[in-house]
Structure formats: structure tokens, C-alpha cells
Chain A
Amino acid sequence: MLIAIFALAALGAALGMLLGVANRLLRVEGNPIVEELVAIMPGSNCGQCGFPGCTGAAEAIVDGSAAPTCCPPGGKALAAAIAAKLGLTLDLTAIRDEGPKIATVAEELCIGCCRCSKVCPTDAIIGAAKQIHNVMREACTGCSSCIETCPTEALVMKPVPVTLQHWVMPKPALA
């Protein structure tokens, strides 16, 4: 009995040590570029790109299996930022960017079922059971995860309204 205990303990200690050493020597570094990309991405893990969250998308972009333009909520601006970071040349004029969109609730259709507010990655939808829901414009990232959950199709994606504060003077047309 004692011999068995000692043998197993020694074996455990030796193997544990081996694992510890291997962890030190054979460490796999997380790719710092991926981390940098994750930092500039929306971070809501909405999944519209088809990858498991923003980290997945960043990894795919870095290893070249996804285009820097794969993030719909990020749009043109994010694509440009990623391309600049990775030293890629992008023809941004070719991107179909309809501008940012946000979810809006059609109040006459909402039945207050709370399904949309449960999936919103940024808690941008407010409302309670049997109360009309609403989307907080500032918090919505336009990921459209909520659209599918709505049983009455009360949620629709609409372009972010241009206000006086957000309007930008257009670039002059080329001569």
C-alpha cells in the first residue's frame, strides 16, 4: 500500500514538473497583431462575419482567410484601420458601405416579448414584458442579432439618421 502511494506520488510530481517545464519552453505566444485588431474592432461579438466573435474574425484576418472588410458593423472606417495596421492596400471605393445602420422598433408591432433584449450584445434594447421595447441609438452597434428573434418583425435595420451634429461637409467633386 505505501509503496503504491509513493510510486504514484513520485510519478505525479515528475510528470507535473515535466508539464511545467514544457509550458515554459514550448509556450505558444498569442499573436499580438490579433490582439491589436481585437482592440479596434467593435467587440460586441455579434457574429455577422461568420466567425466566433471578434477574436475569431481578427485571427482569420491576420492569417489571410478573411478580408479586412468582413466586419459589417465596423464598415469602411474599420476596414481602412485594419488595412493600415496590416500594411494592406485596399480599394475602399469598391466596398459597398451603405453607412452605419441601427435597429429600430416599430412600436405598433412590438408585443413586448423581451426576446430581442435577451440577445442584444450591448444591452441596447430596453423594455419589459408586455411593454413596448425601444432601442437606444447610442448603444446599438448595428449587429442585427435581434432582427431574427422578433416574432412580429417589429425590428428593422435603418440607416443612422444624419443630424446637424453628425453631418459632414461632402468632399468636392473632382474637377
Chain B
Amino acid sequence: MDIGKFLRKLSGKDWGVHPDDHKRPAADARVRALPIPPRVHLMLSQHVGAPSRPVVLIGQKVLKGELIAAAQGNISAPLHASTSGVVSAIGEIAAPHPSGLSGMAITIDTDGEDKWIDCDPVADPFALSAEEIARRVADAGVVGLGGATFPSSVKLNLGRRSSIDTLIINGSECEPYLSCDERLMRDRTDDIVAGIRLMLISTGAKQARVGIEDNKPAAIAAMRAATSGHAEIEVVSVPARYPMGSDRQLIIELTGREVPADARAADVGVIVHNVGTAYAIQQAVCLGRPLVSRLMTLNGAAAAAPGNYEVVLGTLISELVAFTGGTRGEPAKLVMGGPMMGMRLPHMQIPVVKGTSGVLLLDGYEAADSEPDPCIRCGSCVKACPMGLLPLEMAARIRNDALTDAVDLGLKDCIACGCCAWVCPSRIPLVQYFVHAKGELSSQDRAKLRNDATRKLAQQRQERLEREAREKLEAAARRKAERAAQAAAAAEAKAQTKTASVTEGESA
């Protein structure tokens, strides 16, 4: 055995898996822009946090980049019209979600002119203050484009508040099949570098490290050439290994710091942004353009023309597939995102959202769904787990609904990367167990909160009823007292008139 490999195994750093990357030829194909579809559907909730609130009316004419839904609350993002047209509906449509449920969306009938609203470009964006950059990013509705869709401005502001020293730019794109980040790094290198410089100003970090997996030599070369004049930005080639693009793994690889459980990257002085986000931030700050389109990968053996496409948000997947020449045979599985962490979609009438990094049309061989066998306790999942957990033990607990035992085994540290399920020789859907358990736990937490709230309501009602009864009694007593006082006054007046008449009588 190779000594290096042996040492790595010994040190416990041999996490992760090496799936075939399937990135080429899609990654080498020229980017094509999808024509404007007749209709776009913009989901109100395509970011982490509170859904945005519509600020347009049905029948209203909107221009590309016009605000159609405003952010609500601290963690939220606004939404902009992705092309010009007329708002034709605000209602539910099938959401990009594994449940197949629907969510609220604004539908725009496009006019095909794709006319931009007046943007507010900045002559010298690098002279802007940190707050101004974060404000422009927030107004542009930029969210983390690596797939997490966390509002980027919140992260930029967080950086300033919690002394970040290193900004990590995630260009690793470790999911197989996907190549939109690689394409972006090769085609729009200078814009990405400008975005990174803006993020450095906004977070107050001293240096930036761009981590790119070594299976993308062209992207590494392009980024190295573009950052040669900027000493504060370093492009690092990281070994291609899944899940290198997970923030915790990339932070260890690039800085040697480990983010503790129950802590965030900012707690170790690091903040991670995706290269796609860097590009969107550059567009937002320098050109004043909100996030209305994105680069995404179409791939899989059933895709007729695998490649990267510039798609306006809200385009239905069926439009994308139709434009690229339909499918090669019936796809066995339709996935949004990568094959490891992406979600299976029930049909193609689902719109592209900000977090859509790709759409995969997998054929029967790639999908390879088969019945799971019993666990043979081989321990492959333990070796593969990048978080050092025991997937087989946790799944056994969850199977018996012993969720708290699974939490004791570190369920909350699971990043749902899917390595365990990928290596499992019995094809046990381990990640599904973990995602189920996490959902169940959070639903229990929600039920508890709700319970507390309703108990408070019941108590308040009780108090209100008591107060009302008391007030009624008091009012009755007051009225009685008033009546008594009136009666007394009347009696006194009567007595006085009587005495007066008596004295009068006496005097008379």
C-alpha cells in the first residue's frame, strides 16, 4: 500500500468517495443562452428564510429586473422579474421540492422584448463602503448559488460583525455531472475576481482563498491568471474528492481549521461563498443588476444536448428540455441539482429557481434504483463519512424511531452528503433515514413551540374571562353605589326641604 495513503487512513482524513465525475463533455461545450420562454414562474420561496411578499398586481406590466416581491424579515431575499412582460397570476405551482407539493409563485406572461429596467451602475465599485456593498447585494436578491440559497448579504454583514480573517470561495464543484461553476470560472473569470474583491471589502477579511478541485485544470489556470495581480486572492487546487465542496470539508482543506459541532464557519474566522455567488455579487454591485438568471448544467445520459445553459429564473424544466432537443429515450429519473445531494422531481413542469445548479436526466443504468438488502455491517459507510459518524448505527436507531439515540450518535452533524448510501453494498437508503429523522425532529420542535403558544393563549383567555367577570361585578357595584348615593342625596334634599319647611313653619 502507498505510504501516503496509509498515513491518511491512519490519521482519519480518508473521508469521502470518488464517484465518476461525468462532467465532460458537458463542461467543455460552449454556454448557450435559452430563449425567453412564453411564461416564467417565479417562486416566492427560493431562498432560505421567510418567503418574499408580492408587491405587484395581476395585469401589471413589469420590466426585467423590476422588484416583484419584497423581502420579509431579517433572513429573506427580494425577487425580481426575470424578463419583461405582464403579471398574469399569483398562485400555487409545483415547487422544486422532493415532496412534489406546490408553492406560491408569480407568473409573468413574457413579451419577448426582455427589456431591462434602468439599472444603477457604479463607476468605481471598489470605492463603495462595506455597508453599501452589502445593501446593494441585499437589494439584488443575491443568495448562495452553490445550492444552499442562504441570503448572501446576511453572510456579508455577519462577516463584518464576527471578525472574519479568511474568505473562502468555493469553486470545488464536487458533485458529479455538474459543471456550471467550472464554466463560469472559465468564461467570466474577471467578473468573478471583481466579485471576490467586493466580498473582501464587505466582509473585512484580509485574504481570500479559492478552492478548485484538480479535475478542472482549465478553470484553475484561468483563475490563477486573473488573480495574478491580486496578492490577497490565492487560488488553491484541492484534490478531487466528494464532498470537497461541503463548507466544513473545504475549510479544513484550505485553512486547517475544523468547525466545531453546533458552530458556524464564522466562529472559526472563516466565511464561505460560492463562485457563482461572487459573479452575482459583481453583477449586482457593479452593474446594479438583480439576480434574474443563472448558469446551469443539463446533463445525464438521457439528455439530448448536455451542456451549460444561461437560463432566466422561472423557466420550466420542460422548456429547457424542449429547447435542447428533448430527451434521448424516456429518462428513468429526473433530478434537480447533483446526483448525490440533488432532489428527485416528479415531472418537468417545475420552474428553475436561484438554487438550481443543474438538471439531470438519468437513464435506467445511471439511476440504478434497486431494492435494499439487509445491512451486513461491513463498515464502508463509516469509512466514507466525511463527518466521522456511524451511519449504520444511526440508521438502525432511526429505523426503530429512537431518534434521540440517533442524535446522541451525532445525527445533527450529518451533512446529508450521501457518501454512506453511495458506498453501501446493500444499497440501503441511509441518507433518506437521516433526512427523515432531521425532519421529524424539527417537526417535533415545531409542535412543542406551538403547544407552548396555544397554552399561553388558553391562559390569556382564562385571565380575560376572569377580568371581564370581575369588571362586570365592579361595574354592578359601582352602579349600586351610585344609585345609593343618588337615593341618599335625594333623601337628604327631601329632609332639608322638610326642615326648611319646618323652620319656615316655626318661624311662621
Contact = CB atoms under 8 A, between A and B. Distances in A.
Query: Are A and B associated in one complex?
Result: yes
A43 B451 contact: yes
B461 A121 contact: yes
A164 to B, nearest CB: 5
| Chain A facing B: main interface SS | loop
B99 interface: yes
A39 to B, nearest CB: 9
B450 interface: yes
A40 B454 CA distance: 12
Contacts of B444: 77
A24 interface: no
A44 B101 contact: no
A172 B433 contact: yes
Contact of B453 (A138, A162, A175): A138
Interface residues of A, number: 27
B458 interface: yes
Nearest to A165: B45
A6 interface: no
B30 to A, nearest CB: 36
A141 B439 CA distance: 21
Interface in A119-172: 120-124, 138-139, 141, 162-164, 166-172
A139 to B, nearest CB: 6
B458 A172 contact: no
A48 interface: no
B450 A167 contact: no
B412 to A, nearest CB: 16
A122 B454 contact: yes
Interface in A98-134: 120-124
Contacts of A169: 98, 432, 435-436, 439
A69 to B, nearest CB: 16
Given A164-B95, A164-B101, A171 B454 contact: no
B429 interface: yes
A19 to B, nearest CB: 28
Contacts, number: 77
Nearest to A45: B458
A139 B401 contact: no
Interface residues of B, number: 37
A167 B436 CA distance: 10
A168 B373 contact: no
Contacts of A138: 450, 453
Nearest to A163: B101
Given A42-B454, A175-B373, A168 B45 contact: no
B372 interface: yes
A124 B457 contact: yes
A122 B398 contact: no
A124 B456 CA distance: 12
Given A43-B451, A164-B97, A166-B446, A121 B436 contact: no
B101 A172 contact: no
Given A166-B443, A167-B97, A169-B98, A175 B457 contact: no
A172 to B, nearest CB: 5
Contacts of A174: 399
B447 interface: yes
B455 interface: yes
B101 A139 contact: no
A164 B105 CA distance: 13
Nearest to B442: A168
Interface of B: 45, 95, 97-99, 101, 103, 371-374, 398-399, 401, 426, 428-429, 432-433, 435-436, 439-440, 443-444, 446-447, 450-451, 453-455, 457-461
Given A168-B440, A169-B436, A172-B436, 20 more contacts: A40-B451, A42-B454, A43-B454, A43-B455, A43-B458, A43-B459, A44-B457, A92-B401, A122-B461, A139-B453, A164-B95, A164-B103, A168-B436, A169-B432, A171-B432, A172-B432, A174-B399, A175-B372, A175-B374, A175-B428
Interface of A: 40, 42-45, 77, 92, 120-124, 138-139, 141, 162-164, 166-172, 174-175
